[in-house]
């Protein structure tokens, strides 16, 4: 698996290897969306990654979709993240903040005004949110006005500036997994009849506006963009995936972003098409076949050899194996992830996975 350990340039960052840590929601920011010393320990343990991409971090209060997720929209949140980035850099690592506006995937209980979550159209996700009082149905969201859309774009840009102020090396825009950007892309959740709905050029407009605004705010070389073509996460549906995502990638390409991050969902042929459209670094969360879940190191090495990716990102493998590069070099063994500790809780299932016995 030598391919995984070759250096690579992403934006202006020189990464020592091609093993990236994918973003994973962990829901441990219990106090006003502020990360803690335990968060710093978690990421420092994984500083051997070529690049860490953090858990989804809301760019505004209305962007929050889950209990106890961190933010980047208050001074206190920025200060808390600064402790994390400083610790990661001291350990020799590099770290991007993933900016995630959840859109309709939210609940009034998350917001100080008790208002509704927002989305491109007044169509509910059909899913639920965990709360200490039990599972809560996602309500019908409030359809965003043009002013709401402009405000959301500005929130992304402001949060990107806050991320750089907090010491991050860059940001990743979350355009995957059924959150706000995906909700605009997908015709199952976007039935607008204005310039943000209907045709593919209209449905990709919001994504491109966000990417352009964030790039202008912090420099495009500090910006990545994540997509998950064909996803059904959080109730979204797409009738035109094969045409939608190449069009989106073509529209993003002139912005000269640092990387495109593709969460592959078993369609390697579409991945090849996106690779052909994208001129910069392509990061792949490799799932070359529908049954190739969770991803494994060998899938990443194969993708690099095939040339469909410049770097690969893993999620559960990093979650359970803080010393993943050492374990790959040794041929294992690998810790298994404990799904019961993925969201919320304390250090258990977070910072207590053992390193390889050297």
The residues assigned a catalytic role are 179
What is the rounded distance in angstroms from the CA atom of residue 2 to the CA atom of residue 6?
Answer: 7
What is the rounded distance in angstroms from the CA atom of residue 332 to the CA atom of residue 323?
Answer: 11
**CB count in 10 Å sphere of residue 75:** 9
Assess contact for 57 and 90: CB atoms under 8 A. no
Q: Which tokens belong to 297?
A: 């190191």
What is the rounded distance in angstroms from the CA atom of residue 203 to the CA atom of residue 195?
Answer: 8
Helix, strand and coil in the chain, % to nearest 5: 35, 15, 45
> How does DSSP classify residue 221?
G
**CB count in 10 Å sphere of residue 145:** 11
**Exposure on the CB side of residue 37, measured as CA atoms within 13 A:** 0
| Residue-by-residue DSSP string for 12-70 | TEEES-SEEEPP------TBTTB--HHHHHHHHTTTTSSEEEEEEEBSSGGG--STT--
Strand, coil or helix: 47: coil
Block residue for tokens 């494994």: 296
Q: Which of 223, 143, 219, 226 is nearest to 182 (CA)?
A: 226
What is the rounded distance in angstroms from the CA atom of residue 94 to the CA atom of residue 44?
Answer: 10
Block residue for tokens 């996700």: 125
Q: Which tokens belong to 266?
A: 């078993």
- 96 Rama sector, left if φ>0, alpha if ψ -120 to 50, beta otherwise: beta
E strands, the chain, are 8-10, 13-15, 19-21, 51-57, 95-99, 118-119, 128-129, 136-137, 142-143, 170-175, 223-227, 259-263, 281-285, 311-314
């Amino acid at each position: 698996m030598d391919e995984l350990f070759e250096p690579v340039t992403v934006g202006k960052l020189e990464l020592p290897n091609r093993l990236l840590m994918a973003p994973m929601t962990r829901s441990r920011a219990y106090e006003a969306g502020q990360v803690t010393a335990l968060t710093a320990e978690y990421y420092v343990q994984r500083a051997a990654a070529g690049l860490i991409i953090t858990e989804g971090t809301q760019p505004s209060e209305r962007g929050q979709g889950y209990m106890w997720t961190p933010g980047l929209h208050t001074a206190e949140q920025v200060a808390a993240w600064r402790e994390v980035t400083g610790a990661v850099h001291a350990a020799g690592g590099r770290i991007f903040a993933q900016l995630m506006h959840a859109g309709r995937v939210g609940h009034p209980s998350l917001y100080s005004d008790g208002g509704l979550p927002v989305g491109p159209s007044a169509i509910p996700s059909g899913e639920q949110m965990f709360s200490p009082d039990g599972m809560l149905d996602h309500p019908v969201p409030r359809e965003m006005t043009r002013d709401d859309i402009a405000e959301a774009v500005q929130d992304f840009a402001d949060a990107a500036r806050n991320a750089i102020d907090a010491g991050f090396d860059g940001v990743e825009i979350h355009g995957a997994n059924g959150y706000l950007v995906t909700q605009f892309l997908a015709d199952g959740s976007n039935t607008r009849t204005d310039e943000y709905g209907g045709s593919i050029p209209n449905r990709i407009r919001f994504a491109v506006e966000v990417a352009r605004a964030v790039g202008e705010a912090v420099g495009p070389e500090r910006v990545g963009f994540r997509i998950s073509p064909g996803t059904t996460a959080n109730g979204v549906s797409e009738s035109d995936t094969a045409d939608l995502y190449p069009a989106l990638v073509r529209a993003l390409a002139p912005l000269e972003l640092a990387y495109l991050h593709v969460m592959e969902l078993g369609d390697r042929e579409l991945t090849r098409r996106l690779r052909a459209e994208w001129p910069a670094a392509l990061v792949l969360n490799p799932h070359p076949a529908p049954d190739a879940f969770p991803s494994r190191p060998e899938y990443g090495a194969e993708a690099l050899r095939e040339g469909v990716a410049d770097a690969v990102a893993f999620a559960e493998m990093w979650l359970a194996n803080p010393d993943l590069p050492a374990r790959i070099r040794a041929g294992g063994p690998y810790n298994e992830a404990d799904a019961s500790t993925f969201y919320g809780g304390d250090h258990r299932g977070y910072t207590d996975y053992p390193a390889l016995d050297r």
